[in-house]
Amino acid sequence: MKVALMENQDFLSVTELLIACIVSCLVLVIIKSFNKSIPQGLKRVPGPKGYPLIGNVLDLGKNPHLALAKMSQKYGDVMQIHLGTRPVIVLSGLDTIRQALVKQGGDFMGRPDLYSFRYISDGQSITFGHDSGEVWRTSHKLAQNALKIFSASPSPVSSSCLLEEHVSNEADYLIMKFQERMKEEKSFDPYRYLVVSVANVICAMCFGKRYSHDDQELLSIVNLSNDFGEAAASGNPADFIPILQYLPNRTMKVFKDLNMQFSAFIRKIVKDHYISFDKENIRDITDSLIDHCQDKVDENANIQFSDQKIVNIVGDLFGAGFDTVTTALSWSLMYLVTYPEIQKKIQEEIDQTIGRERTPRLSDRSKLPYTEAFLLEMFRHSSFLPFTIPHCTTRETSLNGFYIPKDVCVFVNQWQVNHDPKLWKDPSTFQPGRFLAADGAGINRVESEKVLTFGLGKRRCIGESVGKGEVFLFLTTLLQKLEFSVCRGQLVDITPQYGLTMKHKRCEHFQIKQRF
């Protein structure tokens, strides 16, 4: 009995010693973090105190963009929080964000080495990858050029550019699907058709083909993309509490599986393109990347490009050209049925400028200022991309007089800028007219440049111009021919639901009426 008691006491002593060591280490880490010297003349970044181990996670709640915007009112445009054991710098205020991402772009152009990011394109993603050196620059430029060529180049079968042709074809098909559905039922949810049409546009540019709306391969990719957004939105605690990387995590397992399935889909497409590749007939973005890869070495950067690099770039371009455009169009339709007088005004502008005989063109954008103002207000008011993808500092730097260490994670709160009462009158009000020039005949460029959606600086979204053009073409083509409404007595809920891209609640009560 005594022996057992002594052994038990010994066990307790060892356990207590281990706990004491762990607590001591934590205290030392905390003391070290507070006492770390900073360069003379600079200040330590202010921020709220957090709880041990979890930091400020509980302070963020279900809507981190709102919580951080409120905190910035107390701590300023540069503040520091802790997510788990990881310090995070949060940037708010348009001038501060411009200073960091544009004027000091090289200092803030990195991506944090987050655990979950390592499983997106095997950690080699242009968008999410940790690398920001010469390999990233060359890949980024290659992707930009390929996207530009296969969106802006003249169509071989019409006088329009490739993007205009792809959107026109898909918009006409989408209108037909809407009309078919209205014949079957009194109302419907447009999202399920919209998402496939948008996917088909990027498929045409990347893969040189379109799919039917019932094609299982395309539907599986659409579902994968939606599931990816949901998994990313739920967050991964292991990104900020490293020890959790070694524990079972259902959400992370789903996230890994989704990325593996998506990579397998892209890899199959690339493999098929290699089989049918003809250097004299470059059909799409994948072909153009294979053509570049044939030389193996980039002449300017002396960097080898592998087949896996092609898979990664194509995957990034598909992702950049799909979810953002789908979400923007879905929000646009929700605002149009919420504010029918705005819809009517856009249609009058389209009728007067384009008429009903020809398809809208990208060159019409400058001639449709109210339509452009509506899209700007949609991006601002919804702020469906509340944060940019996290940044990371590449070197020690300073911002607004505060010391910022190297390799620190940086959040950029775009929602705060888009709803900052210092920048916008009545920011919670949906008002496209705020972007019109004084004479109403054009866009006030100063106001339009305040809207943050696609980030700024060196890490600005590579698909921004193509995405904006695609949203414009889809919207104007749909409104040229259709009028949207919801069933009488049905309310439309445009409350954003937090996520990597914020969605609205799905609405199954849409109705359409043919305009002519």
Q: What is the pLDDT of residues 386-434, one digit of tens each?
A: 999 999 999 999 999 999 999 999 999 999 999 999 999 999 999 999 9
- Looking at the chain, the number of H-run helices and the number of E-run strands are 17, 8
The pLDDT value given to residue 306? 67
CA pair distance 500, 125, nearest whole angstrom: 17
As a whole-number percent, the residues of the chain with pLDDT over 70 amount to 89
42 within some domain: no
The pLDDT value given to residue 191? 92
* Higher pLDDT, residue 301 or 503: 503
Domain range enclosing 243:
59-514
The pLDDT value given to residue 304? 52
The pLDDT value given to residue 131? 79
Q: Tell me the helix, strand and coil percentages in the chain, rounded to 5.
A: 55, 10, 35
15 within some domain: no
Q: How many domains does the chain have?
A: 1
Residue type for position 352: Q
List residues forming the annotated binding site for heme.
461
Please give the structure tokens belonging to residue 161. 């550019």
Q: Angle at which helices 191-207 and 162-184 pack, to 10 degrees? A: 150
For residue 502, the domain's CATH number is 1.10.630.10
* Higher pLDDT, residue 123 or 56: 56
Answer yes or no: are the C-beta atoms of 405 and 84 closer than 8 Å.
Answer: no
List residues forming the annotated binding site.
461
Q: Which of 357, 140, 115, 322 is nearest to 223 (CA)?
A: 322
Q: Which of 515, 419, 424 is nearest to 175 (CA)?
A: 515
Q: Which of 74, 15, 86 is nearest to 48 (CA)?
A: 74
Cα of 348 vs its chain's centroid, Å: 32
106 within some domain: yes
CA pair distance 58, 60, nearest whole angstrom: 5
- pLDDT, tens only, 217-258: 888 888 877 777 766 666 678 888 888 888 888 878 888 888
121 within some domain: yes
CA pair distance 241, 448, nearest whole angstrom: 39
CA pair distance 343, 335, nearest whole angstrom: 9
pLDDT bracket for residue 5 (50, 70, 90): very low
47 within some domain: no
10 within some domain: no
420 within some domain: yes
**13 pLDDT exceeds 50?**
no
381 within some domain: yes
